[in-house]
């Protein structure tokens, strides 16, 4: 995958004026001593810094020019980011390690996620200081500006982002506080990221769903009418709510390629049985260890992949007796390996995360 770096340039062409005469241009910058793969503004937290001044670059800058920096103004209104994707589920990653407040508002996030007027993404993810003894906190805004508790593909991207930002000193794993509790990603030698996604939540009121529990306190193979059709669903929370279906009254075994997601997805998402809205997974069983799914995400619509969704799908498949605890889940963007461990009841997700490009964007 080619990596493009977006470079912010002054609006005035330097060719028409000498560099030093541009009053707003400040020519000092900092750079890390190590050869970083991220641009200079994503400095490693613990790296010593080397200051390169304007004079060492062979250019003169007046005091006045220093105090009236055009780039300073531009910089202060810029958001530096790295775009990542996990199987086509794409995110704008923001280095927010110096503050527990997201650098941008939900409204700004929604604008940046717009695929025509913004950068284009399914969500914005903030890498923040850890709390309660964890190494980091991850927060995320969906592309509609709502804030989910967790994001599976996002946390793999987050892990790769942190590994670029920080000197992990040989560590391959760290702890991440999320709205879904403690999440532990582990960077593997082959570049994939394995994530301990914690325990699934099955109690109906905690998912949350208003559907009447069918088994203990959980909703397994329950009937729900959506758009005039009786669907069979299992509700699972991976910190965020999921409604998993393998079929309905008309089609007991779904052929997921035939589903009109844009039509049916929003009807599930906003159904009165889901007070916090829901993500919905439509699943086809290919074998005892191989599932195929498409997803309609709460706050983001149809996406190419959903990590928490794939985890919920395997939990639902086990509860419905349709598959074993170790599955390959095919999503439109590619496969994820999911295991629901019998030993610790945790769900483990393994999959890729890739850099797409670096950039800076003015904030409005
Ligand atoms: N794509 C994500 C899930 C993102 C959050 C979701 N849209 C929600 O609102 O719960 C994943 O990979 O898990």
The reply to whether ligand 1 has any atom less than 6 angstroms from the CB of 245 is: no
Q: What spacing in Å lies between the alpha carbon of 33 and ligand 1's midpoint?
A: 37
Atom number in ligand 1 closest to CA 306: 12
84 CA from centroid of ligand 1 (Å) = 15
Contact 351 CB / ligand 1 (< 6 Å): no
Q: Give which of 158, 92, 127 is closest to 353, Cα–Cα.
A: 158
Level-2 CATH architecture, domain 78-196: Roll (3.10)
Could you tell me if the ipTM is greater than 0.85? Answer: yes
| Active-site pick, 235, 306, 311, 327 | 306
Which of 151, 157, 235, 327 is labelled catalytic? 151
347 lines ligand 1 (CB under 6 A): no
Q: Is there an atom of ligand 1 within 6 Å of 148 CB?
A: yes
What is the pLDDT at residue 74?
A: 54
Active site (annotated) includes residue 151: yes
Q: Over the chain, what HEC string results?
A: CCCEECCCCCCCCHHHCCHHHCCCCCCCEEEECCCCCCCCCCCCCCCCEEEECCHHHCCCCCHHHHHCCHHHHHHHCEEEEEEEEECCEEEEEEECCCCCCCCCCHHHHHHHHCCCCCCCCCEEEEEEECCCCCCEEEEEEECCCCCCCCCHHHHHHHHHHHHHHCCCCCCCECCEEECCEEEEEEECCCCCEEEECCCCECEHHHCCCCCCCCECCECCCEEEEECCEEEEEEEEECCCEEEEEEEECCCCCCCHHHCCHHHHHHHHHCCCCCCCCCEEEEEEEEECCEEEEEEEECCCEEECCCHHHHHHHHHHHHHCCCCCCEEEEEECCEEEEEEECCCCCCEEEEECCEEEEEEEEECC
Give the nearest ligand 1 atom to 300 CA. 7
Q: Where in the chain is the domain with CATH 3.10.310.10?
A: 78-196, 204-345
Q: Is-contact 280 231, C-beta < 8 A?
A: no
Tell whether ligand 1 has an atom less than 6 A from the beta carbon of residue 240: yes
Nearest-CA residue for atom 3 of ligand 1: 151
Taking the C-alpha atoms of residue 45 and residue 22, their distance in angstroms, rounded to an integer, is 32
Q: Which fold is adopted by the domain 204-345?
A: Diaminopimelate Epimerase; Chain A, domain 1 (3.10.310)
**Ligand 1 centroid vs 36 CA: distance in angstroms?**
30
Question: Would you say the CB of residue 153 lies under 6 angstroms from ligand 1?
Answer: yes
Ligand 1 atom 2: the closest Cα is on which residue? Answer: 151
Q: What is the pLDDT along the chain (364 residues), one digit of tens a residue?
A: 333 334 332 222 333 322 233 222 222 222 222 334 566 556 554 433 322 233 333 334 445 444 544 445 456 689 999 999 999 999 999 999 999 999 999 999 999 999 999 999 999 999 999 999 999 999 999 999 999 999 999 999 999 999 999 988 889 999 999 999 999 999 999 999 999 999 999 999 999 999 999 999 999 999 999 999 999 999 999 999 999 999 999 999 999 999 999 999 999 999 999 999 999 999 999 999 999 999 999 999 999 999 999 999 999 999 999 999 999 999 999 999 999 999 999 999 999 999 999 999 998 7
Determine which residue's CA is closest to atom 1 belonging to ligand 1: 306
Sequence-distant (≥ 6) Cβ neighbours of residue 13 within 8 angstroms: none
Q: Cα 164–165–167 angle (5° rounding)?
A: 85
Probe residue for ligand 1, chosen from 198, 298, 331 as the CB with the greatest number of ligand atoms within 8 Å: 298
Q: How far is the CA of 305 from the centre of ligand 1 (A)?
A: 9
Closest CA to 172 of 188, 153, 183, 160: 188
pLDDT confidence of residue 168: 86
Q: What angle do CA 361, 362, 364 make, to 5 degrees?
A: 130
User: Does the global pTM surpass 0.90?
Assistant: no
Ligand 1 atom with the shortest distance to the CA of 123: 4
């Amino acid at each position: 995958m080619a990596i493009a770096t977006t470079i912010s340039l002054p609006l005035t062409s330097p060719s028409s004026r000498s560099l030093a005469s541009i009053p707003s241009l400040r020519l000092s910058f900092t750079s890390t001593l190590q050869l970083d793969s991220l641009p200079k503004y994503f400095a490693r937290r613990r790296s010593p810094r080397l200051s390169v001044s304007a004079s060492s670059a062979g250019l003169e800058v007046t005091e006045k020019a220093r105090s009236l920096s055009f780039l300073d103004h531009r910089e202060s209104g810029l958001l530096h980011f790295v775009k990542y994707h996990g199987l086509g589920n794409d995110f704008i990653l923001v280095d927010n390690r110096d503050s527990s407040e997201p650098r941008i508002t939900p409204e700004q996030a929604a604008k940046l996620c717009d695929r025509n007027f913004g950068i284009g993404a399914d969500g914005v993810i903030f890498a923040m200081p850890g709390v309660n003894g964890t190494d980091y906190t991850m927060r995320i805004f969906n592309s509609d500006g709502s804030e989910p508790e967790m994001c599976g593909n996002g946390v793999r991207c987050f892990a790769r982002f942190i590994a670029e930002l920080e000197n992990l000193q040989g560590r391959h794993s760290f702890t991440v506080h999320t709205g879904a509790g403690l999440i532990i990603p582990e960077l593997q030698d082959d570049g994939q990221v394995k994530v301990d996604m914690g325990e699934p939540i099955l109690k109906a009121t905690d998912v949350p769903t208003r559907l009447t529990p069918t088994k203990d306190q959980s909703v397994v193979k329950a009937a729900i009418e959506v758009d005039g059709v009786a669907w069979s669903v299992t509700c699972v929370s991976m910190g965020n709510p999921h409604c998993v279906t393998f079929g309905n009254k008309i089609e007991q075994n779904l052929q997921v390629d035939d589903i009109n997601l844009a039509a049916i997805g929003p009807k599930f998402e906003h159904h009165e049985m889901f007070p916090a809205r829901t993500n919905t997974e439509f699943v086809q069983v290919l074998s005892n260890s191989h599932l195929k799914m498409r997803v309609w995400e709460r706050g983001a619509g149809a996406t190419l992949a959903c990590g928490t969704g794939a985890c919920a799908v395997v939990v639902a498949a086990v509860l419905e007796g349709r598959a074993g605890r170790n599955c390959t889940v095919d999503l439109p963007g590619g496969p994820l390996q999911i295991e629901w461990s019998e030993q610790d009841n945790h769900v483990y997700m393994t999959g890729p995360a890739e850099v797409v490009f670096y950039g800076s964007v003015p904030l409005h």
